[in-house]
Amino acid sequence: MHLYNARMSLIEYQRTILHDPVRNRAFADALKKLIVSGKTTVADIGAGTGYLSFLARKLGAKECHLYEVSELSDVSRALAKENSITGLHFVHRHSTQIVNSPNVDLVISETFGNFALEESIIGNLNDARRFLKPGGNIMPMNLRQFVAPVVTDRIQKTIDTWSSIEGDLKWTKARETGLNNMYVKDIRPEDLLKDGIKEWDSIDFTKHNKEIRHAKVEWTTHNSPLTIHHPPSTIQGFALWWESDLAPNITLSTSPFEKPTHWQQIYLPLLEPLSVKSNETLELTLDVDSRYDVRINVAWKTSAKDKQGKIVKSESQDMRKGFLS
Distance CA 191, CA 204 (A): 30
Q: How many CB atoms lie within 10 A of CB 99?
A: 4
Nearest 5°: the CA angle 269, 218, 259 is 60
Strand order in the sheet with 132-139: 88-91, 63-67, 41-45, 104-108, 132-139
Percent of the chain topping pLDDT 90: 90
Same domain, 114 and 101: yes
Asked if residue 4 is part of any domain, the answer here is: no
Identify whether 1 is part of a domain.
Answer: no
Tell me the C-alpha distance between 252 and 92, whole Å. 28
Amino acid, res. 241:
W
Give the total number of structural domains in the chain.
2
Clarify whether residues 25 and 124 are in a common domain: yes
Other CB atoms closer than 10 Å to residue 9's CB: what's the count? 9
Q: Is residue 271 part of a domain?
A: yes
Give the max Cα distance, the chain: 70
**pLDDT per position as a tens digit, 179-221:** 999 999 999 999 999 999 999 999 999 999 999 999 999 998 7
* pLDDT greater than 50 at residue 299: yes
At 248, is the pLDDT very low, low, confident or very high (cuts 50, 70, 90)? very high
Residue type for position 269: P
Per-residue confidence (pLDDT) for residue 43, from 0 to 100: 98
> What is the model's pLDDT at position 230?
42
**Band (233; pLDDT cuts 50, 70, 90):** low
The pTM of this model reads 0.93
Domain that holds residue 239: 143-321
Task: Give the pLDDT band (50/70/90) at residue 222.
Answer: low
Rounded Cα distance between 242 and 252, Å, is 8
Length of the chain as a residue count:
325
pLDDT tens-digit readout, 25-57? 999 999 999 999 999 999 999 999 999 999 999
pLDDT digits (tens, 9 = 90+) for 59-115: 999 999 999 999 999 999 999 999 999 999 999 999 999 998 899 999 999 999 999
Question: Do 111 and 15 belong together in one domain?
Answer: yes
Q: Can you give the pLDDT at residue 3? A: 54
Mean pLDDT of the chain, nearest integer: 93
When pLDDT is averaged across residues 257-278 and rounded to a whole number, the result is: 96
Tell me the CATH number at 307: 2.70.160.11
Residue 15, H or E segment: helix 10-18
Sheet strands side by side (includes 281-289):
212-220, 281-289, 297-305, 311-318
DSSP annotation string for 101-149: PPPEEEEE-----SSTTTT-HHHHHHHHGGGEEEEEEEES-EEEEEEEE
